[in-house]
């Protein structure tokens, strides 16, 4: 086995030189030429970094406090505006209805001694038409239900009766209470009677 090229463990042991042994005494690392002395701390860079971090934290705290204060002011302001809006939301409608109220007062005054029922009926009709016109200007419209098909989104069925004719089966025969739209929204469903 003299030909064998496998290295022997004894081949790797080498005697350390005196210079390298003196440099690495007791497991110490060799010194770098620009390394600071042991115990010397780089205070300038650390102090600068800490000061800049501290000022950045203070700026962020200030921004956060200002933002929180602005948000609280916004909440307070919108809550006040909302309560004011609820207080005055019907003001426009009430102002529009005041002339109708005035007409009712005048009709009561002028018809209290009237013996003719037609005079009272005429005054009521005039005031009713004025009230309907005012409400229509504000977006209120009545539903037309009688004779139409039953729609559960628009109608509330109170009862069913035998239909007077074949074409009214499953349709609205009578209207007990009128339904209304405000714009496109149903604000009161019509109470109807259905034909069987």
Least confident of 13-27, 30-44, 120-134: 13-27
If you ran DSSP here, which 8-state letter would residue 165 be given? S
Q: Say which residue, 17 or 145, is predicted with more confidence.
A: 145
* End-to-end Cα spacing for the chain: 116
Does residue 1 register a pLDDT over 50?
no
Q: Which two tokens stand for residue 149?
A: 């098909």
pLDDT of residue 196: 84
User: Of 177, 122, 180, 135, which is closest to residue 154 (Cα–Cα)?
Assistant: 180
Distance (Å, whole) CA 196 – CA 169 = 5
The mean per-residue pLDDT over the stretch 177-184 comes to 92
Instruction: Write out pLDDT tens, residues 88-104.
Output: 878 888 898 999 999 99
- The H-assigned helical ranges of 36-90 are 43-88
193 close to 160: Cβ distance less than 8 angstroms: yes
Query: What's the pLDDT tens digit per position in 35-65?
Result: 555 544 456 788 888 888 888 999 999 999 9
């Amino acid at each position: 086995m003299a030909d064998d090229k496998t290295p022997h463990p004894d081949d790797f042991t080498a005697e350390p030189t005196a210079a390298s042994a003196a440099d690495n005494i007791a497991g110490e690392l060799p010194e770098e030429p620009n390394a600071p002395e042991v115990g010397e701390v780089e205070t300038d860079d650390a102090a600068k970094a800490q000061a800049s971090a501290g000022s950045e934290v203070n700026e962020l705290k200030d921004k956060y406090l200002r933002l929180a204060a602005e948000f609280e002011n916004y909440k307070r302001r919108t809550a006040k505006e909302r309560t004011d809006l609820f207080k005055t939301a019907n003001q426009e409608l009430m102002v529009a209805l005041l002339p109708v109220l005035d007409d009712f007062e005048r009709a009561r005054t002028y018809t209290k001694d009237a013996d003719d029922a037609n005079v009272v009926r005429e005054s009521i009709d005039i005031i009713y038409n004025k009230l309907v016109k005012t409400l229509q200007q504000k977006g209120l419209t009545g539903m037309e239900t009688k004779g139409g098909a039953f729609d559960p989104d628009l109608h509330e069925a109170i009862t069913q009766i035998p239909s007077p004719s074949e074409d009214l089966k499953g349709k609205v025969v009578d209207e007990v209470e009128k339904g209304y739209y405000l714009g496109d929204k149903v604000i009161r469903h019509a109470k109807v009677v259905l034909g069987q």
